[in-house]
Amino acid sequence: MGTIQVASLSRSTVRDPVVLRFVDQVVEIMKLEVEQALGALKDPEAVPAKMGHLKVGATPREYPSVGLVIQERAKSLPPDRRSALMSRFRETAEATPRPLPRTDLKVNIRSEKYILHQIDAKSAFAFFNPAFAQKFLDSLNDARGDISFERPTAAGGAVINTGLAFRLHEVKCLDETDPERGGKDEIAMGGTTLDDTGNVTEIKAFSVGKFNDNDVSTFDTPKTLATFALKGEFPKTLSVFLALAEKDLGGFADFLEKLFEAIQAEVTVILTALGIAAGAIIGGSIGSTVGTAIGGPIGSIIGLAAGLILGALITFVAGVLKDDIFEPQIATVTLPDASATFAGSLISPVLSLVYADFDGKYRVKYSWEISR
């Protein structure tokens, strides 16, 4: 008898210390990459590193680095916001190498080499447990808020599921963001999806509405934000990375998708260097821009790790770029086989994601629906 598992996942719901240390260490590296990227944009002579692409996979393909995505975001800002960013961004061009937190390693912001390429992964992640993949999946199963649905034994032949939809029911303002700014919060929503093959798809940003404390935007007919085709092998873990922003400050969903794919690529580079994800296992690709994507458990692990890192990194990035993007939350569902249901129903119970940033708090209600 199969069991569907549904989870609302964030860094705070993962308890395994090795997984958390891995996530936090990658975030520290990427913070330095953000600093190097903006330093190179502000003063390319002092910070000469080029924010290029990474070659990933057994048949190498190129993906933009985190630094390149950050530079492109900064360049896309309106002139006044970009000027303000450059004026408040502190000088990073110190000749003295900077320590990488929690290690004996040092990096140089001024180097011509990108931060990631200055780091010896086996030294930076010396704590890394070879059983990381299983530990991550175990942590996912233990995530706070997990709900399991036993599949009743079907009479006669099993009916095959063909698709799965992620549906939005409600957005409620539990506490308005910084009230000193005056006016209502103007909330936009967007994000990305990750299927079991590693394909990433953007959930295009849209306006949810304007909110004061306790205001609610309800969708009488649930709004479908994402759909997944249920083909190929099982079990499948499917994920939605959903973000809120106080106003859509210019393509934030597209920015999140690009940043997510860049993080996936850099996580793959690190895991490959650690010998955890050999090219033969990873295959030739990450994301929706290539044909054959990462498959099997390793694809889910890399994607979910990237999602946790994105959530932890976005607060830092939003603070630097002055983008009021709430930490993305992750909704996942694991289907054990092609005919699994939610305890006999094609629709899951209504579940919740909670967003708390910028002195505000929002609750999003959602559900999953199977199609046949």
Q: What are the b/e assignments for 11-24, b being 16+ CB within 10 Å?
A: bebbebebbbebbe
Residues 6+ apart with CB under 8 A from 279: 57, 58, 272
Hey, what are 75's tokens? 């360049």
Give percent of the chain with pLDDT exceeding 70.
Answer: 80
**What is the domain range of residue 25?**
3-371
CB count in 10 Å sphere of residue 331: 26
Q: Which residues pair with 4 in a beta bridge?
A: 149
Residues 6+ apart with CB under 8 A from 208: 171, 187, 188, 189, 217, 244
Q: Which residues pair with 206 in a beta bridge?
A: 189
Asked whether residue 67 carries a pLDDT value surpassing 60, the answer given is: yes
pLDDT at 191: 92
Q: Strands 185-194 and 200-211, how do they pair?
A: antiparallel
Asked whether residue 290 carries a pLDDT value surpassing 60, the answer given is: no
pLDDT at 131: 65
Give the whole-angstrom CA distance, residue 55 versus residue 62.
Answer: 5
Higher pLDDT among residues 234 and 87, named by residue: 234
pLDDT at 280: 33
Residue 161 identity: N
**247 close to 325: Cβ distance less than 8 angstroms:** no
Q: Dihedrals φ, ψ of 168, to 5°?
A: -95, 130
Which phi-psi region, left, alpha or beta, contains residue 102 (left: φ > 0; alpha: ψ -120 to 50)? left
Give the whole-angstrom CA distance, residue 249 versus residue 252.
Answer: 6
Asked whether residue 226 carries a pLDDT value surpassing 60, the answer given is: yes
Which phi-psi region, left, alpha or beta, contains residue 281 (left: φ > 0; alpha: ψ -120 to 50)? alpha
- At 289, the pLDDT band (50, 70, 90 cuts) reads very low
How far is CA 159 from each of CA 153, 229, 297, 339, rounded to the nearest angstrom? 11, 15, 25, 6
Asked whether residue 294 carries a pLDDT value surpassing 50, the answer given is: no
- At 97, the pLDDT band (50, 70, 90 cuts) reads confident
pLDDT at 153: 52
pLDDT at 4: 78
94-103, 111-120, 311-320: the lowest-pLDDT one: 94-103
Q: What does the CA dihedral 109, 110, 113, 116 come to, rounded to 10 degrees?
A: 0
Asked whether residue 217 carries a pLDDT value surpassing 70, the answer given is: yes
pTM of the model as a whole: 0.83
What average pLDDT does the chain have?
A: 82
- At 359, the pLDDT band (50, 70, 90 cuts) reads confident
Hey, what are 235's tokens? 């079990």
Asked whether residue 146 carries a pLDDT value surpassing 90, the answer given is: no
Residues 6+ apart with CB under 8 A from 17: none
Most confident stretch, 57-66, 71-80, 92-101, 246-255: 71-80
> Which helix (H) or strand (E) is 7 found in, with range?
strand 3-9
- How many distinct structural domains can be found in the chain? 1
